[in-house]
């Protein structure tokens, strides 16, 4: 089965050490926000441990249920998005309703987590806990996320390459653990989509000195995005708490989606002039056909949306529609079907397709022509 894309880009939940299971200090979900609302719009919506609206820097394009491309996106998640020709930094910050102590003694542990979709290996999405020292004075922030192809923790104090190039999932649950060292040496661990605390981390117990002695309390949370023009990032469920379970339990992960390694162009060496574009995306799986009829007339088709599980060696039958009307950027949806496509993939580089429709029949032995940059074949 194609691994489901369960991404997104970084964790945002912290927990102070405790021997009892506690609710998260902070839980911010965007599911109940009104449609088409800036996350700074009043009211900002209910959230455990947070108060007031989100404060955004000038023209920060953080939305709920919309992007600039689709004002009725309806994701139920917050969205970071701005125009393609604008590469400026964006930040949103929201204050806590009270001072939540994260650590006070040597060995105290806190956690943080969030969902992000899609993962941006070369993008910049950082989540920050704004801290104050318990004994007064300033405190370095605790930040973590993705930047320039790396997971980043502790203001860059710990970095690790995103394994295998581009992430292979559309939405990720990222979980951060910090063990406080009163002598100035912290230990950080970071997981992506962990089943439990024993799951293999991507950052495994790495030492870093980024917290001052004297303990710390979280006073605000912030989200910062940069260099992601034209590539919306969806995020949700910011959590900060005391235990691993506080920031992972009851997280509703999305339905699995096809592995991005299937994406790309396919052709049949024995049928020149015919090609397929396979697309696994956040809504499901779609096939586009570019070719011609037996009479040499242009024929462009696209499939219905397939939202089930994809497996190698299994036949899938999809309705196909002919693209006739519309302009670039303003297509006209077809109202009648052209016929059907039956497709089976032997692996992510080969398969077979059978067309049966108004213009006749076609059999294609599929071979990969191109793939997305830095996306390998997983099977």
Asked if 53 and 66 count as a contact pair (C-beta separation under 8 A), the reply is no
Report d(CA 271, CA 359) in Å as an integer.
16
Whether 378 contacts 3, CB under 8 Å? yes
- What CA–CA distance (Å, rounded) separates 62 from 89? 12
Domain layout of the chain by residue ranges: 26-247, 260-368
Which of 16, 31, 7, 82 lies closest to 241 in space, CA to CA?
A: 16
Measure the CA dihedral 73/78/84/85, to 10°.
140
Q: How many CB atoms lie within 10 A of CB 196?
A: 9
Span 228-287, pLDDT tens digits: 545 667 788 899 999 999 999 877 554 334 466 788 899 999 999 999 999 877 677 889
Average pLDDT of the segment spanning 282-309: 86
Whether residue 19 is predicted with pLDDT greater than 50 in this model: the reply is no
Residue 120 pLDDT > 80, yes or no?
Answer: no
Return the CATH number of 26-247, one of 1.10.10, 1.20.120, 1.10.3470, 2.60.120: 2.60.120
- Which CATH number is associated with domain 260-368? 2.40.128.20
pLDDT of residue 273: 92
Bridge partners of 137, per DSSP, are none
pTM above 0.95, yes or no: no
Using alpha carbons, list the distances in angstroms from residue 240 to 32, 49, 110, 148, 168.
19, 9, 8, 25, 26
pLDDT of residue 202: 83
């Amino acid at each position: 089965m194609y691994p489901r894309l369960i991404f997104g880009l970084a964790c945002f939940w912290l927990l102070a050490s405790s021997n009892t299971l506690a609710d998260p200090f902070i839980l911010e979900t965007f599911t109940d926000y009104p449609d088409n609302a800036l996350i700074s719009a009043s009211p900002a919506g209910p959230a455990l441990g947070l108060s007031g609206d989100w404060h955004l820097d000038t023209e920060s394009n953080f939305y709920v249920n919309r992007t600039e491309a689709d004002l009725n996106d309806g994701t139920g998640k917050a969205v970071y998005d701005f125009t393609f020709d604008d590469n400026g930094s964006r930040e949103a910050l929201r204050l806590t309703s009270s001072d939540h102590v994260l650590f006070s003694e040597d060995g105290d542990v806190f956690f943080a987590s969030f969902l992000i979709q899609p993962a941006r290996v070369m993008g910049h999405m950082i989540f920050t806990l704004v801290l104050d020292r318990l004994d007064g004075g300033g405190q370095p922030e605790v930040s973590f996320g993705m930047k320039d192809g790396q997971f980043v923790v502790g203001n860059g104090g710990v970095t690790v390459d995103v394994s295998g190039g581009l992430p292979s999932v559309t939405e990720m649950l990222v979980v951060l653990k910090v063990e406080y060292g009163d002598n100035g040496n912290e230990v950080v661990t970071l997981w992506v989509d962990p089943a439990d605390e024993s799951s293999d981390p991507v950052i495994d117990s790495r030492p870093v000195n980024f917290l001052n002695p004297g303990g710390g309390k979280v006073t605000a949370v912030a989200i910062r995005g940069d260099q992601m023009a034209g590539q919306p990032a969806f995020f949700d469920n910011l959590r900060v708490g005391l235990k691993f379970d506080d920031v992972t339990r009851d997280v509703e992960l999305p339905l699995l989606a096809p592995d991005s390694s299937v994406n790309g162009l396919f052709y049949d060496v024995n049928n020149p002039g015919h090609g397929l574009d396979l697309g696994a995306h956040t809504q499901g799986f779609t096939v586009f056909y570019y070719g011609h009829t037996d009479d040499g007339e242009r024929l462009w088709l696209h499939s219905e949306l397939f939202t089930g599980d994809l497996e190698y060696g299994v036949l899938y039958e999809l309705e196909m529609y002919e693209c006739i009307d519309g302009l670039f950027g303003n297509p006209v949806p077809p109202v009648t079907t052209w016929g059907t496509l039956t497709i089976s993939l032997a692996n992510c580089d080969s398969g077979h397709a059978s067309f049966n429709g108004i213009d006749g029949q076609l059999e294609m032995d599929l071979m990969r022509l191109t793939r997305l940059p830095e996306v390998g074949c997983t099977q």
